[in-house]
Every structure is written in C-alpha cells, then in structure tokens.
Amino acid sequence: MTPSERQEILKNLELPTAAVRKQILSIFEDLAVVKRNEQTYFLPAEIGYAIDALWQGPDKPTLEEIEFYLDQAVVTEKHQYSKHQQFGYRYILNRDQ
C-alpha cells in the first residue's frame, strides 16, 4: 500500500470518538442557543446535566470526557467557543437553528 492510498483510507476513516465529540458539541450548542437570554457561560456540570438528559446511544461521556472535548473545541475553534476560568464554557455563535 502506498502512502497516498493509506492517507486516503485514513482521511475517510471516522474515529470512534468522532460521534461522541459531535454529539457533545451539538447538545452544548443547542443549550447555548435556547438559554442565550438567561446566561452566556455554562459550567461543565450544567453541560453534563443537559447531556445526561439528551444522550442517544452508547458511550455516554463522563464529565472529564465532556471537559476534554470542550477544551479541544475551544483550542481548535476559537471563533466558535471560549472558556472562562470561573464561569465555564461559551458557544460564541449562538445562532438560531
């Protein structure tokens, strides 16, 4: 197998954590949109509470895993997410969906 063939396979490969990450961020974004008039930042426990209520499928994340994926989103998508040391996480776009 050539490097380009291997890279093509890897490019199309969905890692097991991708579905978990997508669902966490989707639930957080929806929470931020519907609560945008009440609060701007959300504590990890509040996000975890929403995830507990809405999670679909296996592999429900722990609070540590939720924080890991949110921290990852903050670092890689600075235009969409931010984190405040005291107040928690924020979804910046707060777009209606």
User: What residues does each domain of the chain span?
Assistant: 18-91
What pairs with residue 84 in β-bridges? 88
Given a cut of 70, whether residue 97 has pLDDT beyond it is: no
Given a cut of 70, whether residue 96 has pLDDT beyond it is: no
Given a cut of 70, whether residue 48 has pLDDT beyond it is: yes
Mean pLDDT for the stretch of residues 25-49: 95
Q: Provide the Cα torsion 77, 78, 80, 86; round to 10°.
A: 120
pLDDT band of residue 14 (cuts 50, 70, 90) is confident
What pairs with residue 90 in β-bridges? 82
What pairs with residue 31 in β-bridges? none
Fold of 18-91: Recoverin; domain 1 (1.10.238)
Given a cut of 60, whether residue 43 has pLDDT beyond it is: yes
